[in-house]
Amino acid sequence: MKPMRRTAFGAVVVCVLAAVSACREEPPPPLPPPPPPGASVTVVNLNAAMGFQMKKGEKGGTNATPEDIALLAEDVLKHPADIANLQEMALPAARELREVLAKRTGAVWELNWAHSTFADYYAGKDPAEAPVWRNVSAGNAQLIRIGAGVRSQKPITVDGDRPGGEPDQGIMLPSSKEPDRGRSYQGAEVVTEHGTIDVYNLHLALAKDNTDEERARDVETIQRFTESRTNPAIITGDFNEELDSSDPNSGEHHFPKTYAALMAFMDTYGYADVARRLGVTSNRQPQYELQKLMRVRIDYILARGLRTQGTAKITSTKSDHWGLVTTVEPGSERTAPAPAPDPGVSAERFRHELPGGGTFYFFTALDYICAVVDEQAVCQGRTKPVPPAPASCRGGPGWGHGMFVAASGKVDFVCAGGLLYAPVDRAPDDRDVLRAGQSFTALGFTCAAEAKGVRCKHNASAHGFFIAPDSNERF
């Protein structure tokens, strides 16, 4: 993305007055020598800029041609990478890139895809050209080489959605204003020669497209997922936010809530901003003098629970971003202790018999009426924001008056015209109340009452929801 369309003018002033040297066109530092084969895992991050302009005849960015996909493969293999986290990709391009990488390395590359929206992609050769790919899935690609460094990997951010009928291993963020159109993130559990780590790939929203509050909520949603897991973690991506500047008059950041949420990775959760010393990452090839002034650091590598080495910038061939690369120091991965189990309350307290046989668990918390059954955990009650109703729910039962997580791991809003579950032999009363701070587990689900809302999770997939009157999230 072009940060000049997002960054406040104050950031330019700071760049000019406080860091003029960082605004000059300078080559990135030379790459360190590659690590010994099989001794470590190297992670590359790059905004591939397939969304650079997305219009006919546009030569900038990575276009929908075999030549540009081949150049992108060269960028990935410059170090070379074991894991490539790429933003602004088209799904067909990601699949082609996987094949090119496999051919060039002789290794198996596995693709995890995180859908964000639908778009047309062009060859960038003719102002009158037709799209090479029309209305295809656009988003983030995570390509992982299986071999000496990485033994295996599995996606951990699968919510059961299949936008456009395509496989998807990402989760849409709350700022998305339409179904299957917005921003997303993805993560994988990676088994290395030395331990297990989680690797995440993010592309956050621009300030021009979402409010400060919405962007902060996106970051907090990601943090609730990443910090619910105990593996060492690496988070990379295009954050579309500059953490190194502030308003020259007030001294405050231009987007204080987003800034505070992102800084919590370092200040609260113990991540190291390992590429900070490398400086700006965007507008690597500015076309205008103003763009030279507005180059900023919006691409990041954050690491928790492990040490990295050889962190550097990589000059990309077609993107307007620098790539970033880091290598996990072999053997530095620590295993965090699992959190102490919460004994909660007995599920038997909420157990009821179904008229046709079987059991379900019914409880109330705040203003929500909830139940756990074999196929789902569900809470009904008002919440906001609620996305537009899907076609399957329009014109029929009520949409969005509650949320559920299914045994498949799918999380969504409720489409129902009335109460789904309730005791059959009496009205709900104090016996059904799950009080703030209490939780119980039944039928493979865990539900907890919190001060402002209710959180339910499918234990096997770790997917779930949080619902409150003025907020909600899917994780």
Give me the domain span that covers residue 437: 347-474
Q: Flag whether 391 is in a domain.
A: yes
Same domain, 144 and 293: yes
Same domain, 161 and 66: yes
Percent of the chain with pLDDT over 90: 56
Q: Flag whether 24 is in a domain.
A: yes
Count structural domains, the chain.
2
Domain boundary among 297, 328, 359: 328
Same domain, 292 and 360: no
Domain boundary among 328, 356, 385: 328
**What's the whole-number average pLDDT of the chain?**
84
Q: Flag whether 342 is in a domain.
A: no
Same domain, 380 and 263: no
Q: Flag whether 362 is in a domain.
A: yes
Q: Flag whether 334 is in a domain.
A: no
Domain boundary among 328, 355, 379: 328
Q: What is the CATH number of the domain that holds 268?
A: 3.60.10.10
* Bridge pairing between strands 150-155 and 170-172: unpaired
Same domain, 324 and 353: no
Cα(108)–Cα(114) distance, rounded to whole angstroms?
A: 20
Region 319-341: mean pLDDT is 71
Please, which pLDDT band fits residue 458 given cuts at 50, 70 and 90? very high
Residue 347 token pair: 């599920």
Same domain, 219 and 354: no
Same domain, 89 and 153: yes
Same domain, 187 and 217: yes
| Distances 201 to 298, 300, 459 between C-alpha atoms, Å | 14, 10, 23
Query: Residue 151's pLDDT is what?
Result: 92
Point out the least confidently predicted range of 171-180, 227-236, 286-295: 286-295
Region 119-128: mean pLDDT is 92
Per-residue pLDDT tens digits for 66-105: 999 999 999 999 888 999 999 999 999 999 999 999 999 9
Where do the DSSP E strands lie in 122-214?
133-146, 150-155, 170-172, 184-192, 196-203
Query: Residue 229's pLDDT is what?
Result: 85
Same domain, 253 and 373: no
Query: Residue 236's pLDDT is what?
Result: 98
Query: Is the confidence at residue 147, as pLDDT, over 60?
Result: yes
Among 139, 153, 142, residue whose Cα is nearest residue 111: 142
Same domain, 137 and 172: yes
Query: Is the confidence at residue 446, as pLDDT, over 70?
Result: yes
Q: Flag whether 433 is in a domain.
A: yes
Same domain, 190 and 253: yes
The model's pTM: 0.65
Cα(57)–Cα(178) distance, rounded to whole angstroms?
A: 29
Higher pLDDT, 19 or 390: 390
Query: Residue 25's pLDDT is what?
Result: 42
Sign of the four-CA dihedral 251, 303, 278, 23: negative
Same domain, 231 and 356: no
Q: Flag whether 420 is in a domain.
A: yes
Query: Residue 294's pLDDT is what?
Result: 56
Query: Residue 392's pLDDT is what?
Result: 83
Query: Residue 207's pLDDT is what?
Result: 92
Q: Flag whether 333 is in a domain.
A: no
